[in-house]
Amino acid sequence: MDTDERILEAFILNHGRAATQILEELEPEEVANLLKEIPVELGTKVLEPMYAYKASRILERLDRACAIEILEAVDLKTAELVMRQMEESHCNSLLEGLASEVSNPLRLKLKNQENTVGALMDPILFSLRKSVRVGQALTFLREHKRPVSPHVFVVNQDKTLYGVVNLQDLFLADNETLITALANRDVPKLYDDIPLETIINYESWLYYYALPVTDRADVLVGSLKLETVRRGSVKSEEMLDKQAIRAGAALGELYRIGLTGFLQSPGE
């Protein structure tokens, strides 16, 4: 790596947003040529804060393999926003080449209209079948090895929503207890096709860190976090009670800290 490359790398790493603003002033072809020459992790730092339309024009000028590599490295929301700006044929071509763990949730999100619950939900979620017992559920949690919501979603055999289980209740229950004995059947849910603006001031955000999202057939398709609602709407900061926001965020962080320790501990 020569001196110029080291300077460029240091600038992107330490001043990512400033680098993005500079590159946004260049022609897409020029930025595409740069992305071909720098490591993918630097490219993601440049593209993630960039206007989606500009980023899509840049990726369209990259060869397919390079564009796919970058899309697999950026966060899912960035990939979705960028691909929404592409021509349908180009978008479909890239989706075909992406790894299934990226393409499957992207397809699910892209089928929803912008500014709907489905477009902002997280389609990658942890759920349990209602036939599972507590001991099995805890084993699945350890195997999952990713932070989950303070509430775990329970589904029927046909993948429709059955209810939710509070993680604290799950940790304290006897291993042989059926998960259905702990499930709350009255949990509020959101449909994936409703506008985001209609649920910003939803009372349930006072009690839940994340809400299940279903389609109109009641099939569980994802979850929506309060934090995502705040980021997704400029009106949410005014409409949501600030105390509720802080309480929800603190509760979620507390559960994540505790769950991280649980996931890292050896199984019994």
What distance in Å separates the CA atoms of residue 86 and residue 267, rounded to the nearest whole number?
A: 46
pLDDT at residue 239 tops 90: no
pLDDT in tens, 185-216: 998 999 999 998 899 888 888 888 889 999 88
Are the C-beta atoms of residues 200 and 227 closer than 8 Å to each other? no
Q: Identify the band that residue 176 occupies on the pLDDT scale cut at 50, 70 and 90.
A: very high
Are the C-beta atoms of residues 191 and 215 closer than 8 Å to each other? yes
**Which one, of 176, 173, 175, 178, lies nearest residue 163 by Cα?**
178
pLDDT in tens, 53-96: 789 999 999 999 999 999 999 988 788 878 887 888 999 999 99
Are the C-beta atoms of residues 38 and 23 closer than 8 Å to each other? no
Are the C-beta atoms of residues 91 and 61 closer than 8 Å to each other? no
Are the C-beta atoms of residues 220 and 212 closer than 8 Å to each other? yes
Q: Look at phi and psi of residue 115 and say left if phi exceeds 0, alpha if psi is from -120 to 50, else beta.
A: left
pLDDT in tens, 1-48: 567 677 778 888 887 788 888 888 888 999 999 999 899 998 998 888
What distance in Å separates the CA atoms of residue 155 and residue 161, rounded to the nearest whole number?
A: 5
For residue 31, count CB atoms less than 10 angstroms from its CB and return exposed for 0-12, middle for 13-18, buried for 19 or more: buried
Length of the chain: 268
**Which one, of 152, 121, 122, 124, lies nearest residue 136 by Cα?**
152
